[in-house]
Amino acid sequence: MKRVVMVCLGNICRSPMAEFVMKDLAKDRDDLVIESRATSSWEHGNPIHRGTQAILNQYHIPYSASKTSQQIKEQDLADYDVIFAMDESNLKDLLALSKGRYDDKIHLFIEGGIPDPWYTGDFEETYRLVKQACESWLKKL
Ligand code: 4NP
């Protein structure tokens, strides 16, 4: 079993989109566990952003409506096998939490990172990049 976690700043826009797009693409595989977390506690307990929910609905990607934001903990770095940072800032925060112990598990999800739709408002761009990165990584997982 390979445990994968998608990580962004708030765990309401990009990382839940990546979690459910990857789950959908990997629905025929029983060897993957896929979840998502935030680097911050800012959105703790809040549901998936309606922009991400709209995209998941539009592309008929199933998701859990009860999923709420959770901050990543040191223990998660030990427990997960593959840790994806949605952007360079998330990567920096994860490496700071890792303190050199889990660096080999931590990867930038896509070159250049996924721009934050919280600021850009462009959830279509988020989806396009998330799907591209999921398809590319899935072959290697
Ligand atoms: P995410 O987007 O990291 O893709 O979930 C954000 C969500 C919330 C905030 C920033 C980014 N915020 O400032 O609360």
Q: What is the pLDDT of residues 78-129, one digit of tens each?
A: 999 999 999 999 999 999 999 999 999 999 999 999 999 999 999 999 999 9
Q: Please check whether residue 77 is in contact with residue 105, taking contact to mean a CB–CB distance below 8 angstroms.
A: yes
CA 43 to ligand 1 centroid distance, Å: 7
Q: State residue 14's pLDDT score.
A: 98
What radius of gyration, in Å, describes the C-alpha atoms of the chain?
A: 14
Which one of 5, 6, 11, 12 would you pick to mutate in the ligand 1 pocket, going by the greatest count of ligand atoms within 8 A of its CB? 12
Q: State residue 111's pLDDT score.
A: 98
* Tokens, residue 41: 């506690």
CA 14 to ligand 1 centroid distance, Å: 8
Alpha carbons 20 and 41: distance in angstroms, whole number: 21
Q: Please check whether residue 31 is in contact with residue 62, taking contact to mean a CB–CB distance below 8 angstroms.
A: no
Q: How many domains does the chain have?
A: 1
Q: Which residues does the annotation mark as catalytic?
A: 8, 14, 116
Q: State residue 87's pLDDT score.
A: 98
pTM, full prediction: 0.98
Burial state string for 60-80 with b = 16 or more CB within 10 A and e = fewer than 16: ebebeeebebbbbeeebbeeb
Q: State residue 114's pLDDT score.
A: 98
CATH of the domain at 91: 3.40.50.2300
Range(s) of the domain holding residue 42: 2-140
Which one of 7, 9, 119 would you pick to mutate in the ligand 1 pocket, going by the greatest count of ligand atoms within 8 A of its CB? 9
Q: State residue 19's pLDDT score.
A: 98
Using a 6 Å CB cutoff, which residues line ligand 1?
Answer: 8-14, 42-43, 116, 118
Q: Please check whether residue 23 is in contact with residue 34, taking contact to mean a CB–CB distance below 8 angstroms.
A: yes
Alpha carbons 35 and 118: distance in angstroms, whole number: 20
pLDDT digits (tens, 9 = 90+) for 12-66: 999 999 999 999 999 999 999 999 999 999 999 999 999 999 999 999 999 999 9
